[in-house]
Each structure stands twice: as structure tokens, then as C-alpha cells.
Copies of this chain bind each other. A is one copy, B any other.
Amino acid sequence: MVHNGIEYGYMELIAEAYDFLRRGLGLGLRQVEQVFKAWNRSELESYLMDITARILTRTDGKAGEPLIDQILDAARQKGTGKWTSQDAMELQVPTPTIDAAVMMRNLSAYKEARREAAGQLDGPRAELSGSSHGRQIRQLKDALYSGLILTFAQGMDLLRKASQRYGYGLDLAEVARIWRGGCIIRASLLEDIHAAYHGTPGLENLMLHPKLAQELENRQQALRSAAAAALQNGIPFAAFAASVAYFDGYRSTWLPADLIQAQRDYFGSHRYERVDAEGTFHTQWIEH
């Protein structure tokens, strides 16, 4: 199930990158194919990247039109991604990129509603200007690789927590090795993931392994810039934006959840914990 959750996340990231290249940069299908082919010869080498390039060049019927443009943009699902997100919420494990992928499949299925809304809700023109295409494509590549690492980090964290909770005794290095051997999410990155868990079996989160932390460090500005450009230009970037939030939330010593705890205590006497004392506390918020 978690394999498939990661698969949902990566597929949605690739789909958003494809949208960025087509709607945002205005590339033709052959150009997008060339970009994905080049990426598949890089650290992004993976089964899904490979088949994406192949899909884009497939023609349909006698006229030789691209098949992809005849396929309805409403995604179906068997439920494994949904179960991953639902189960992650049950175990209180953050899996935002996977959640966003499930959500976008559901939103894509609103085809009629979207058609109607498009005539009523205006937005930016979805055309990226500014820096050169070459630079933006390189940024997007780094953003996609960051997103892929962050999606695996979420899935592996869910496996780790599930293994603790249910006593599975999972060996995450072995999981990575098996996935590398052959499955839909097989990717060169799994070599690094295998090495990370093999070298550090108790690793809390993939992001914290020195090599992967460095990969993210090198690419985070590109991830931020690509996501900010998409948001500014009206290109739906749910999975990329969720990946940024995961990274920034995880590396925040302090989060504004102190306010949420205070609100919960204010309206529901749910109590809160303190930074300077053990136990739980309630404040009489309304002063008489």
C-alpha cells in the first residue's frame, strides 16, 4: 500500500512538471518528451520517468495526432493512495505530497464542474516569463528530484511508524532493495535510500541522512522558485507546494501550533503542554 502511495505522489509530481512545461513554458509535446528523456538519463532515472517520455510520443490513429491529447484528464483510482493517506492520518504521520496526489485525482474527476468554473473564475495566464526557459527547466528538474526524495521520506516514515505500532519488524534497507529490484517506483534514488538505511538502520527520516540532506540543500532554492512561479502564474502545484511545506515544517524547531493549542484550550478546555514544565495545563482565559 505504501509503495502505491509513493507512486501516487511521484505520478502527481511528474504530472505537475508536465503541466509546468506545457502550460507554463509553452513547450510542445516533442520538447517535453526530450526534457523527460534527458531527465531519465540523470539522477531522476526511474521507471515512471521512462514511460512518461514514451507515452508523450505515442500517436493515435491515421492522422498521427498525439494520443495523450485524446485522453480524458480525469484520473481514476483503485484506492491504494487513498488508503495510504487515510492510514497516515490514523498513525499521525505527515504525508502531504501523497495527500495532495490523492486530492488532485479527486479534483481532476470534477471534469464538468471544472469546465463550468473555468468560465467564472479568472486567474493569471499560466505563462511564465522572466528568466530563460533553460534555467526554468533546470530549476524544475531540481524541484522534481527534491519532491521525489520528500515523497520517499514520507512513505518510509509511514512504514517506520507502522512497523513500530504493529510490530512488523520491517528492515527499511531491505524494502528499498526490493523496490529497486523491480516495481513501479523503481528509481536510481533507491540506491541512496538503500545505502542510507543500510548504514543507519535507526534513521529517523530520510531527509536527515547526510547525503540526502545535501541533495535537498543543493536543490531547495530551485524547489522554492519553481513552486512560487507556479503559484504566481495559476498552475496547480499541489504536490510540489506540499513538498515544500513538509521540508520547512520538519526543519522548524518552532511551529505556530502553540497558538492552536491555546485556541483549543480557550474554546474547549482541551489543556496544553508547556515548554517550562511537565504535565498538562488549563488557563481560565476569560477574565472576570
Contact = CB atoms under 8 A, between A and B. Distances in A.
Interface of A: 11-12, 14-16, 18-19, 22, 47-48, 51-52, 54-55, 58, 67-76, 78, 82, 85-86, 88-90, 92-96, 99-100, 102-110, 113-118, 120-124, 184, 204-205, 207-208, 213, 216-217, 220, 224-225, 227-229, 231-232, 234-238, 241-242, 244-264, 266-267, 270, 272-276, 283, 285
Contact of A100 (B227, B245, B272): B245
Nearest to A51: B266
Contacts of A74: 257, 261, 273
Of listed A225, A256, A285, residue having the most chain B CB within 10 A: A256
Q: Which secondary structure dominates where chain A touches chain B?
A: helix
Given A121-B250, A283-B67, A256 B106 contact: no
Of listed A225, A229, A262, residue having the most chain B CB within 10 A: A262
B73 A19 contact: no
Contact of A118 (B118, B216, B251): B251
Contact of A208 (B100, B117, B246, B252): B117
Contact of A120 (B110, B124, B213): B213
Nearest to A227: B231
Given A48-B263, A255-B104, A272-B72, A113 B82 contact: no
Given A117-B207, A231-B227, A285 B54 contact: yes
